[in-house]
Chain A
Amino acid sequence: MITRRGLIRSTAASGLLLSAPGLFAPALAQGAKIKVGYVSPQTGPLAAFAEADAFILEGFAKVAAEKGLPIEVIVKDSQSNPNRAAEVAKELIIDDGVSLMLVASTPETTNPVATTCEAEGIPCISTVAPWQPWFIGQQGNPGDPATWAPFKYSYHFFWGLEDVIAVFTNMWGQLSTNKSVGGLFPNDGDGNAWGDPNVGFPPVLSAQGYALTDPGRYQNLTDDFSSQINAFKAANVEIVTGVVIPPDFTTFWTQAKQQGFTPKAASIGKAILFPQAVDALGDTGHNLSSEVWWSPSHPFASSLSGMSASDLAAGYTAATGRPWTQPIGFVHALFEMAADVLGRVSDAGDGDAVAEAIAATNLNTIVGPIAFNGAGLPPFAVKNVAKTPLVGGQWRLKDGGGYDLVIVDNKTAPNVPTGGTMEAIV
């Protein structure tokens, strides 16, 4: 039977014989354009993650032209829909014949695309999704760790849940509190992972002497948080944490203020990722804290253009008039990875060789060093995941209005400079 993979392998082998003189030349030097697919949520509820795509792609095209990299990027929109993401990934593989797939932003985008690539034997690099939902979410039986298997073609770089937990508890350690924590965990993929009694916040918090009040999993787009506020008040909560969507956090925070509940620290994932969402809180967003994946003060530079993190952020603001956001660095790093990997393979059409090249990556990118060396990872994820540094930051009101994200804790990544220390909200 002729299978697609078998056919590729045999044609690749015969092609190899014909092009024997160029055998050891890297694929990039062979002249023919290499097609790279890129899937991201450009429209729909997740569109904020992809708002810098056009800027990054333009920058990449410029560098590629300067350096003579024959890479053609084909961009597709997932419309923030997992089914659509899988569909466009198929189109990229079958209709466009891409040699490498890049995908970014949230498990809703990365997982369907990576799964499709894995099935089709196309190498895939993904980012901007904590590695647990990416790795475990793609397993046949997410509930049974014994069945988890590594992937052959899918690779991922980002941080994980354990890093967020470490960053948050480090930040709280800087304050004197009664160690009573209130949890806001919604009934979605992130909320269930963060609140999971085995791998989420609860075991780490109890080990470090924090008491967690977790009223239960609420639905996203809840209009009233009085039950949570009453539970937090009853437990004398001084620290609030959770992974909340922006409208829900505004509802909660406004209602908490109305009810006279103000914790000393509020460390929230997701809701206050984008500066626009913090602006929406008016003056009440001062000193809210969250995890910081990337910022202009990160001491890293692009392997493609040599630009520093602050240059990239400033360039984005200059080009679009909008404030920098954290996904910018990671989307840029994705294209650094693509150029680096394709520069090290001799035949970009050989999926196995490209996958091997990805696994062998050792690159200093704008988001930090990326190497699939298994550092800080459990054995099952060693092959496919590379971790990037994570620190903690607080949003501070600027004098002229608007907010600045100030890095206040770097115990987890000491090479990232802090801009201040953790301050209590009141």
Chain B
Amino acid sequence: MIWVDTIVQGVLLGGLYALFAAGLSLVFGIMRLVNLAHGDLIVLAAYLILFVVTVLGVHPLVAVLLAAPMMFAIGWGLQRLILTRTLGDDILPPLLVTFGLSIVIQNALLEGFTADSQRIPMGAIETASVALGPVSVGLIPLLTFASAVLVIFALNQLFYRTSLGRAFRAVSDDPTTAQLMGIRPASVFATATGIAMVVVTIAALYLGVRSNFDPTIGPARLIYAFEAVIIGGLGSLWGTLAGGIIIGVAQTLGGSINPEWQILSGHIAFLVVLLIWPRGLFPRAFD
């Protein structure tokens, strides 16, 4: 029974990683922009939710609804004012700029919110659990997983069923030709980053409810998000979910053998997938 529990916990953990990765996957898939500040933006969103909860005294789920548009605006402005200027043939400028952004966000948060450990308070639901057959599953991890599936489903609908999604795919495949068709890449990119920040806000809610966060905790989560994106294949959102689950299950399985192996086995799973399928499991485009 311990094995079943281990795998179930791993799948649920994978949901969290997929949520971390979904926004990254979107931006990476459309602009080939590696956003090294992604983890810090999640922490920024977590502070924003916490701020709304403390100031307005509303439930965190309501706070997310208020924080999401703010994060959309932040993402839109960030892309329009800063990141667009770094896009080009050279992959180095966006890396450097987002790396710098990561440091700026961390220290700004440290100035504004001090180094205290914070958590988004949810009351009794934090420790509540439901029995699924022989295993006891925490309500929050279950919600996290459900949200991950929902977010990825919604992003997929957006991507393949709307004209905005068509624009996303067009600029991703060939920005120059897309421009000939009347699409303005800069505006599409800004909208994409805005949407990615909405996803980041949802991820931030679960990061902040599951455990403590402080201004410096972002980068540690970035690596799993990247691995989930790469395992899934560039531009495939369901692939990102699969990637998250693979890392999550590999971690809990490794941990059940020996906790020393927990983090390592996630990374090993990533390397094995890359060895066998260098382009990830479900690559969308060839480039």
A residues lining the B interface (CB < 8 Å):
43-48, 51, 187, 215-219, 221-224, 226-228, 230, 234, 246-248, 250-251, 254-255, 257-260, 274, 276-277, 280-282, 284
Q: List 16 A-B contacts (CB under 8 A).
A: A43-B115, A45-B214, A51-B114, A215-B258, A216-B259, A219-B260, A224-B251, A226-B255, A227-B252, A234-B2, A250-B212, A257-B126, A257-B129, A258-B138, A277-B212, A282-B119
Contact B129 A230 (CB under 8 A): no
Contact A48 B115 (CB under 8 A): yes
Give the residues from 191 to 238 in chain B that come closer than 8 angstroms, CB to CB, to chain A.
210-214, 216-217, 220
Residue of B at shortest CB range from A43? B110
Complex alpha-carbon distance, A254 and B213, angstroms: 14
- What residues of chain B lie closer than 8 Å to A43, measured between beta carbons? 107, 110, 115
Contact B220 A221 (CB under 8 A): yes
Contact A258 B129 (CB under 8 A): yes
Residue of A at shortest CB range from B13? A224
Complex alpha-carbon distance, A382 and B53, angstroms: 52
Complex alpha-carbon distance, A277 and B139, angstroms: 23
Q: Is B248 an interface residue (CB 8 A)?
A: yes
Q: How far apart are A216's CB and chain B's nearest CB, in angstroms?
A: 4
Complex alpha-carbon distance, A282 and B117, angstroms: 13
- What residues of chain B lie closer than 8 Å to A48, measured between beta carbons? 114-117
B residues lining the A interface (CB < 8 Å):
2, 5-6, 9-10, 13, 16-17, 107, 110, 114-119, 121, 123, 126-129, 136-141, 210-214, 216-217, 220, 248, 251-252, 255-256, 258-260, 262-264
Complex alpha-carbon distance, A163 and B128, angstroms: 37
Complex alpha-carbon distance, A234 and B256, angstroms: 13
- What residues of chain A lie closer than 8 Å to B210, measured between beta carbons? 223, 250-251, 254
Complex alpha-carbon distance, A43 and B128, angstroms: 36
- What residues of chain B lie closer than 8 Å to A255, measured between beta carbons? 138
- What residues of chain B lie closer than 8 Å to A257, measured between beta carbons? 126-127, 129
Contact B119 A280 (CB under 8 A): yes
- What residues of chain B lie closer than 8 Å to A224, measured between beta carbons? 9-10, 13, 248, 251-252, 255, 262
Contact A228 B136 (CB under 8 A): no
- Identify which of A51, A226, A250 contacts B252 (C-beta below 8 A): A226
Q: How far apart are A194's CB and chain B's nearest CB, in angstroms?
A: 15
Complex alpha-carbon distance, A224 and B252, angstroms: 7
Residue of B at shortest CB range from A79? B107
- What residues of chain B lie closer than 8 Å to A222, measured between beta carbons? 255, 259, 262-263
- Identify which of A247, A251, A260 contacts B136 (C-beta below 8 A): A260
Q: How far apart are A217's CB and chain B's nearest CB, in angstroms?
A: 5
Contact A51 B251 (CB under 8 A): no
Contact B256 A217 (CB under 8 A): no
